[in-house]
Amino acid sequence: MTRRLPTFSAIGRAMACRASAVLPAADSITEDATSGTIMHAFLLRVGELRASGMPAEDAQVAAALEAPEDEREFLEAIPVESLPTDPKGFAGEVALAFDAATGKARELGRDIGRRYEEAAQAQGKPLAPTEFVGSVDVAALLGDDGIFVADWKKRGMYVTPARENWQIKTGLVAAAQAWGRIRGRGEVIRIYDDGRDPYRDRADFTPTDLERAQVDLTLLAVRILADRKAYDAGDEIPAVTGPQCRYCASFQWCPANAALARRVAEPAELREAITDAPLISRENAPAIRRRLVQAKAVLEAVESALDTLASQEAAAGRPLELEPGLFYAPVPRPRETIDGAKAESILRAELGDAAGVAIEIDVTKAGLKRAIREKMNGARGVAKVETEILEKLRRAGALKKTVSYSCGEVRAKASPKQSELPAEIEAP
């Protein structure tokens, strides 16, 4: 199957390094990406439930119950009333295609996931090799000639500001062409996991701004297609290292990152490079800073690739052994959630009238904390009261344990066979 042009979310990386759109690619899904996908689906569902006539607060609770249990506490703490989820004004998960060769665009559908090719086929017009495809999290018409797009981001995920964000700019270009608009407004909306109001970074784009972005996208497509022909002919494609290397699907085939990774693995070479004194001076500080940023990005990408391999090998029953008895494999990360049915009587006894804030359809720790704050009316000691109530819930069997996994070093208990791992390992 012919490799398509990068999707909207990968265009920023391709702008920084075209090799990322040329070299072979291996898709992997990180824990952060999975959590972000759950959040996207939740916000889309809130909009759908609101469209059916359900109030925003009820829609939030109902949508959270459809999400994985270990994500509900975070989802129920999101202040959805302050987000663009009103179906009368906003559309969610709108898939678009922009043809860099013709400058035209089309809507492929809504909430179709990554099924861009299928959607295009259903329209009777297969995707062209020169079409960029992608989905915008939120879209709306703005006045008589404008378009609005927004991108949800969860705290902890790096995000480029809206003015320089190519996911935003490409979404605006595609939506403007598809719907006959000439100006745009883009927002990156960062959502926190502690109930704080989201941070919204906004930028307005004039007709000239969108025209420039369209030209840049056309040039990018032309250069990527030319680079792919050169790569297939055996030519080496220059790669650029930097923050864009994190989560790059072509990392394992990147010659620039391979060279940096080899240096990381050769401490003697590094020691020789820093023998001159002083190690850092005014003269070399700018260059050191640039290399440090690059090195961090490389190390993060190496770790991501290592985690992917470790997860695959552990699933196949042959975890990575770092040294005799020490393995690198998925490690269980347990957490506790509240069983609403078992907790209700205890919460009503402890919180009285305020218990209604915590007891809705289900109970989360965020809801419990809100109820305690309401009862205490600004007094100190919320954390102590929360600890005491949680202990009572634990003794009553009202706390449920859930487990997620992330990679780490684990030591075998008693020299188990490869096939017995990772069940017979524990965190050191």
How many angstroms separate the Cα of 396 from the Cα of each of 34, 335, 360, 373, 390?
A: 32, 17, 20, 23, 10
| Separation between Cα atoms, residue 203 and residue 186, nearest integer Å | 5
Q: Is the peptide bond before 161 cis (omega within 30 degrees of 0)?
A: no
C-alpha 269: how far from its chain's center? 36
Mean pLDDT for the stretch of residues 34-44: 80
Instruction: Report H helices in 352-395.
Output: 355-358, 365-376, 382-395
| Separation between Cα atoms, residue 219 and residue 414, nearest integer Å | 59
- Rounded to the nearest integer, the mean pLDDT of the chain is 80
Per-residue pLDDT, 370: 74
Q: Band of the pLDDT at 86, cuts 50, 70, 90?
A: confident
Dmax over CA atoms of the chain, in Å, equals 75
Q: Band of the pLDDT at 428, cuts 50, 70, 90?
A: very low
- Percent of the chain topping pLDDT 70: 80
**φ, ψ for residue 385, nearest 5 deg:** -65, -40
Per-residue pLDDT, 356: 58
Q: Which of 169-173, 185-189, 309-313, 374-378 has the lowest mean pLDDT?
A: 374-378
Per-residue pLDDT, 266: 54
3-state secondary structure 75-110: HHHCCHHHCCCCCCCCEEEEEEEEECCCCCEEEEEE
pLDDT tens per residue, range 377-427:
767 777 888 888 888 888 887 777 767 778 888 887 544 344 444 443 333
| Separation between Cα atoms, residue 50 and residue 216, nearest integer Å | 38
Per-residue pLDDT, 160: 85
pLDDT tens per residue, range 227-266:
999 999 999 888 887 777 777 777 777 777 666 666 555 5
Q: Band of the pLDDT at 33, cuts 50, 70, 90?
A: low
> Which residue type is seen at 98?
F
Mean pLDDT for the stretch of residues 278-304: 74
Beta pairing partners, 222: none
| Separation between Cα atoms, residue 407 and residue 304, nearest integer Å | 10
Per-residue pLDDT, 421: 40
Q: Band of the pLDDT at 92, cuts 50, 70, 90?
A: confident
Is 154 within 8 Å of 193 (Cβ atoms)? Answer: yes
| Separation between Cα atoms, residue 161 and residue 187, nearest integer Å | 9
pLDDT tens per residue, range 70-81:
788 778 878 787
Answer with the residue of higher pLDDT: 159 or 62: 62
Which range, 22-31, 199-208, 238-247, is most confident?
199-208
Per-residue pLDDT, 386: 80
Is 287 within 8 Å of 281 (Cβ atoms)? Answer: no
- What is the pTM for the complete model shown? 0.64
Q: What angle do CA 52, 53, 58 make, to 5 degrees?
A: 100
Per-residue pLDDT, 286: 81
| Separation between Cα atoms, residue 48 and residue 65, nearest integer Å | 15
Per-residue pLDDT, 422: 42
> Which residue type is seen at 350?
E
In the structure encoding, which two tokens stand for residue 219, read together? 């040039």
Q: What angle do CA 31, 336, 320 make, to 5 degrees?
A: 40
In the structure encoding, which two tokens stand for residue 282, read together? 């005014």
Question: Coil, strand, or helix at residue 247?
Answer: coil
Per-residue pLDDT, 424: 38
Answer with the residue of higher pLDDT: 237 or 206: 206
In the structure encoding, which two tokens stand for residue 1, read together? 């199957």
Is 211 within 8 Å of 176 (Cβ atoms)? Answer: no
In the structure encoding, which two tokens stand for residue 269, read together? 């070479």
Q: Band of the pLDDT at 216, cuts 50, 70, 90?
A: very high
Answer with the residue of higher pLDDT: 189 or 82: 189
In the structure encoding, which two tokens stand for residue 122, read together? 């259903």
**Statement: residue 361 has pLDDT above 90:** no
Per-residue pLDDT, 354: 59
Q: Which of 288-297, 353-362, 388-397, 416-425 has the lowest mean pLDDT?
A: 416-425
Is 11 within 8 Å of 232 (Cβ atoms)? Answer: no
Q: Band of the pLDDT at 149, cuts 50, 70, 90?
A: very high
- Which letter does DSSP use for residue 197 in this model? P
Angle between helices 382-395 and 365-376 (to 10 degrees): 130
| Separation between Cα atoms, residue 304 and residue 335, nearest integer Å | 23
Per-residue pLDDT, 210: 97
Mean pLDDT for the stretch of residues 122-147: 93
Is 347 within 8 Å of 358 (Cβ atoms)? Answer: yes
Residues whose CB falls within 8 Å of the CB of residue 88, separated by 6 or more in sequence, listed in order? none
- If you search the block for the tokens 């996911």, which residue do you land on? 167
Q: Which of 32-46, 221-235, 316-330, 347-361 has the lowest mean pLDDT?
A: 347-361
3-state secondary structure 267-324: HHHHHHHCCCCCCCCCCCHHHHHHHHHHHHHHHHHHHHHHHHHHHHHHHCCCCEEEEC
Mean pLDDT for the stretch of residues 91-97: 92
Per-residue pLDDT, 407: 86
Is 4 exposed, middle or buried (CB count within 10 Å of its CB: 0-12, 13-18, 19+)?
middle
Answer with the residue of higher pLDDT: 327 or 267: 327
Q: Which of 32-36, 40-44, 137-141 has the lowest mean pLDDT?
A: 32-36
Per-residue pLDDT, 268: 52
Is 107 within 8 Å of 178 (Cβ atoms)? Answer: yes
